[in-house]
Structure 1
Amino acid sequence: MTWSFRRLPALLSLLLLGACAGGAYTETGKASYYADKFNGRKTASGVPYRPGKRTAAHNTLPFGTVVRVTNPQNGRSVKVTVNDRGPHVKGRIIDLSRKAAHKIGVDKAGVAPVKIKVVRQGSGR
């Protein structure tokens, strides 16, 4: 496993928020979605990417974590399961599957502001 110190602030935030009683982890930033060319390719968790599933990539949340992603521009939200690492573009906090992006309107814009909130913490790495 490769370690990057640029992930340290996000990891420390997760640990601090997880230690606070009753404090749910939230984050705001930009979301994008996977290109169709990734269909069937293995994700970092080992499962293949499927555009018709509600999945996402996040750089620090454990695999299996369920997050609610809300688009504040239209108020729509979707629950997704983290099964990959990314996004690998500065300024973006989550990459969504095509189905999840469509549900909240990110597919039309390509990139959109979102708020994410952990619904259930995963046990994966």
Structure 2
Amino acid sequence: MAAGMIVLSMLSPALSQANAAAACGRASWYALHSKTASGEMMNPSAMTAAHPSYRFGTKLKVTNQRNGRSVIVRINDRGPFVKGRIVDVSRAAAGKLGMIRSGHAPVCVQPVS
């Protein structure tokens, strides 16, 4: 029984991320040509994003609260590093979300399977 409890406690962070409710805040976009925190090159044309805590490879649904547009992005970087922002999306994702011109938007993010 104790071994089962240890395994469950080790899995709980992954389970809680997968079942997490939507978090809302502000998003911005970026388009660098350097390596991301995951070690891959940043590709502004890819549907990727930076988040401070989700595991690399996690897919998030990002919904722009101003216009209702949504995209699925893959976490491959860390950030944002600006207070009040919850995610930085690639230029491609920002274009689909309709936030290129403004540079930022109110969004909700939710992990998807």
Match of 1:46 in 2: 39
Say yes or no: does 1:28 pair with 2:21.
no
* TM-score (norm: length of structure 2): 0.83
Aligned partners of 1:102, 1:51: CA distance in 2, in Å?
Answer: 11
Runs of 4+ in 1 over 3 A off after TM superposition: 14-17, 22-25
- The percentage of counterpart residues that share the same residue type is 49
* TM-score (norm: length of structure 1): 0.75
Say yes or no: does 1:94 pair with 2:72.
no
Structure 1 portions without partners, runs of 5+: 1-13, 121-125
Give the aligned length: 102
Match of 2:5 in 1: none
Match of 1:73 in 2: 66
Q: Deviations over 1:19-54 (max 9, x none)?
A: 8xx8434210000001x4x12x10000000000000
Amino acid of the structure 2 residue aligned with 1:18: S
Change (3 A) 1:101 1:69: same
Change (3 A) 1:62 1:109: same
Across the aligned residues of Structure 1 and Structure 2, the Cα RMSD in angstroms comes to 2.1
Deviation at 1:72, TM superposition (A): 1.3
Structure 2 portions without partners, runs of 5+: 1-11
From 61, 73, 92, the equivalent of 2:54 is 61
Aligned partners of 1:84, 1:25: CA distance in 2, in Å?
Answer: 21
Q: Give secondary structure in 1 for the equivalent of 2:92.
A: helix
Deviation at 1:81, TM superposition (A): 0.0
Match of 2:7 in 1: none
Deviation at 1:17, TM superposition (A): 7.2
